[in-house]
A and B are shown apart, each in its own frame.
Chain A
């Protein structure tokens, strides 16, 4: 059974560096979401794709953040010039419909 996968699972980077995360959704899912979860909190919505179109970006997603889903399959989330406040778990989810989102294991980012 191939669920949502994310790579890498953990990333440690120095402040100011760029990082890129990848998400592979469940194969037939046309909707893909990114959320961010800080320690002890619930996830917060970042952005949403339907096929290759990015339909919404949260205000949490500053200009340093960019997400793509070039062929409507996998997605990447890039953070430029990382800051310590970017340290969090980045979760990807996918779905066929809006009300059944399946989450991946997340990428834990630590900015030192």
Chain B
């Protein structure tokens, strides 16, 4: 079984600033995928960024980037130049075969 831990229930950030969300995971797989999903209030979950474990280079998608530390089993998400539309719940997830295992989530609030 895979477990994903997000230790920050809530984070607040000023608009245009940077916030980093932490995530640790546990897996016995040698190759796996990690994800960050965003769930805005009352809206559906969307994929923010994906990392393949065998790739050493950290994934980047526009203002979103990850810091993937394979040995430490750590997978943090950095949101740069935060925008009001980034306000949402963020979930870290790992893929085991075809099943996603999610952390408990971090609520991010961007302040104007």
* Closest-CB distance, B72 to chain A (whole angstroms): 21
A19-51 near B? 1/0 per residue, CB < 8 Å? 000000000000101010000111111001000
Q: A41-B104, A41-B105 are in contact. Are A98 and B43 (CB under 8 A)?
A: no
Summed over the interface, the residue pairs from A and B with CB atoms below 8 Å come to a total of: 52
Smallest Cβ-Cβ distance to A31: which chain B residue: B98
A contact residues around B102 at 8 Å (CB): 42-44
Q: How large is the interface on B (under 10, 10 to 19, 20 to 34, 35 or more residues)?
A: 20 to 34
Contact between A103 and B46 (Cβ–Cβ < 8 Å)? yes
- Inter-subunit contact A101/B50 (CB<8 Å): no
Supplied contacts A42-B4, A42-B93, A102-B47, 7 more A-B pairs, CB within 8 Å: A33-B100, A42-B91, A42-B105, A55-B98, A56-B98, A91-B45, A105-B43
Interface residues of B (CB under 8 A from A): 4, 33, 37, 43-47, 50, 52, 91, 93, 95, 97-105
